[in-house]
Amino acid sequence: MSVNKQEVRDIVEAVGGKENIAAATHCVTRLRFALKDESKVDKEKLDQIDMVKGSFSTNGQFQVVIGQGLVDKVYKEMAEQTGMGESSKEDVKEAASGKLNPLQRAVKMLADIFIPILPAIVTAGLLMGINNILSGKDIFFDGQSLIQVYPQWADLSSIINLIANTAFTFLPALIGWSAVKRFGGSPLLGIVLGLILVHPDLLNAWSYGEAQAKGEVPVWNLFGLEVEKIGYQGQVLPVLFASYLLAKVELFLNKRIPDSIKLLVVAPITLLVTGFAAFILIGPVTFAAGNAITDGVIAIFDNFAALGGLLYGGFYSLLVVTGMHHTFLAVDLQLVASAGGTFLWPMLALSNIAQGSAAFAMMRIVKDEKQKGLALTSGISAYLGITEPAMFGVNLRYRYPFIAAMIGSAIAGIFITINHVKAFSIGVGGIPGFLSIQSEYWTSFFIGMAISIVVPFVLTYVFAKFNWKKK
């Protein structure tokens, strides 16, 4: 696929010229700019460029949606034309971070930690879905699973389950790697820290409640101080806070220890200090805090299920616009570990489908051929879990499709929450999302999926009768 060099020049001009670009990089589908002054962006000119499928500003970055496969070529051409050189994602984030308020910085920090580990989590969710099909009862046979009827498939299912569960079993190691890297420490020490917190010599976190009830929680006796000998499988907060401490201790020591003995001193002291702090203070406090948060979220949805579904299902897409949706990934992971499944993630999947349905409706409504093509491709993308092209390229541009999607997602959210639909993992947030839903909730989830497909599509048509003539 060749790159139209004139269109690349037009993109640079539309964002205020190369003198307005502090740094630039790209992800899978978008150009990411840290601009000196976003008021200089000519959105109207940008929208008229054929290769541009939408644009938006979030977390201090101005992002231009190009599309998978083409965006890297556009970026290289832009770097060559402007002579500004290629920047890393970290360079752009650093250039953009100065514009953020404290809340935005906190959201950005969580996004920086959790986004890199998402591929592993989503892959695990998909594989667990395959295993769920093989081992779930009443899917193909009444009262029996596929592997019960065909036991020759049992070992295959067991291996798939082992591979799928690994990312969740060693989740603290994944978070430790990403968090320590984000905080400026050695990612390798972050992995070791995470593995320390789930060492097989520790009481498994999932067995803690039962052991506590029986009074059989093992302890270390540190000169009279009793420390519970428990692991933190599936926990998020303990490894996050411990990773921050590890990075700060490592940076402190690196500045003060001579290079000749760093290898012998820095890593051992860093792990010892962080490890003791994690088991004595950080772990117990954050473990209790995480459980309290989980219990609070569960209590809200248990007592006000319809309201919770209405608000989270309806407004999730607004969280995506602001970038705050990343904060709920930690809550989802905590719910999966502590509550046996998350009731929040299924609404995410339906919200993505709703945005895709509204985009498909716009494909039938708009007259411009470029917009028709954009609506088609972005709708398919949203159905497969990537909503930015549909949201920013189509639905937000015309507003009422976005509102129609929010309404459809809210209705679907109410329905699945009052039916207590849960996902056993995080997966692909679209049509394939059913693979991550516990099989006993499939019927309710498929009805919610139908609502997310039909309601936004119909409402977009209805709203168009009142809005389209004004366009």
User: What pLDDT, in 10s, does the model give residues 175-217?
Assistant: 999 999 999 999 999 999 999 999 999 988 778 778 888 888 8
Label residue 265 exposed, middle or buried (CB < 10 Å: 0-12, 13-18, 19+): middle
Distance CA 407, CA 401 (A): 10
Residue 362 has a CB neighbour count (10 Å cut-off) of 28
Residue 26, H or E segment: strand 21-26
CB within 8 Å of 208: residues ≥ 6 apart: 217, 230
Q: Are 176 and 190 in contact, with CB atoms under 8 Å apart?
A: yes
Of 203, 201, 181, 193, the residue nearest 275 (C-alpha): 193
Helix (H, G, I), strand (E, B) or coil at 123: helix
Query: Mean of the pLDDT values across residues 108-116?
Result: 83
pLDDT band (50, 70, 90) for residue 89: low
Q: Which residue has the higher pLDDT, 34 or 421?
A: 421
DSSP string, 252-282: HHHHHS-GGGHHHHHHHHHHHHHHHHIIIII
Helix (H, G, I), strand (E, B) or coil at 411: helix
Of 270, 231, 226, the residue nearest 249 (C-alpha): 270
Distance CA 44, CA 148 (A): 60
Helix (H, G, I), strand (E, B) or coil at 20: helix
The string of pLDDT tens digits covering residues 429-456 is: 889 889 889 888 999 999 999 999 999 9
Tell me the Cα Rg of the chain.
24
pLDDT computed for residue 338 by the predictor: 76
The string of pLDDT tens digits covering residues 248-302 is: 999 999 999 998 898 899 999 999 999 999 999 999 999 888 888 888 888 888 8
Q: Are 293 and 331 in contact, with CB atoms under 8 Å apart?
A: yes
Residue for token digits 């549909």? 390
Distance CA 89, CA 144 (A): 49
Q: Are 330 and 115 in contact, with CB atoms under 8 Å apart?
A: no
Q: Which residues are catalytic?
A: 27
DSSP string, 86-136: ---HHHHHHHHHTT--HHHHHHHHHHHHHGGGHHHHHHHHHHHHHHHHHH-
Bridge partners of 56, per DSSP, are 63
The string of pLDDT tens digits covering residues 297-322 is: 888 888 999 999 999 999 999 888 77
Distance CA 324, CA 217 (A): 38
Give the pair of three-digit tokens for residue 24.
């630039």
Q: Are 388 and 54 in contact, with CB atoms under 8 Å apart?
A: yes
Do β-strands 30-35 and 61-65 pair in parallel, antiparallel, or remain unpaired? antiparallel
Give the amino acid at 250.
E
Q: How far does Cα 153 stand from its chain's mean position?
A: 33
pTM, two decimals, is 0.78
Give the pair of three-digit tokens for residue 105.
């910085």
Q: Which residue has the higher pLDDT, 24 or 54?
A: 24
pLDDT computed for residue 470 by the predictor: 45
Q: Are 435 and 129 in contact, with CB atoms under 8 Å apart?
A: yes
Distance CA 441, CA 436 (A): 11
Percent of the chain with pLDDT over 90: 37
> What structural domains and CATH numbers belong to the chain?
5-99 (3.30.1360.60), 111-289 (no CATH), 341-468 (no CATH)
Give ∠ CA 125-330-272 in degrees, rounded to 5. Answer: 105
Residue 325 has a CB neighbour count (10 Å cut-off) of 17
pLDDT band (50, 70, 90) for residue 88: low
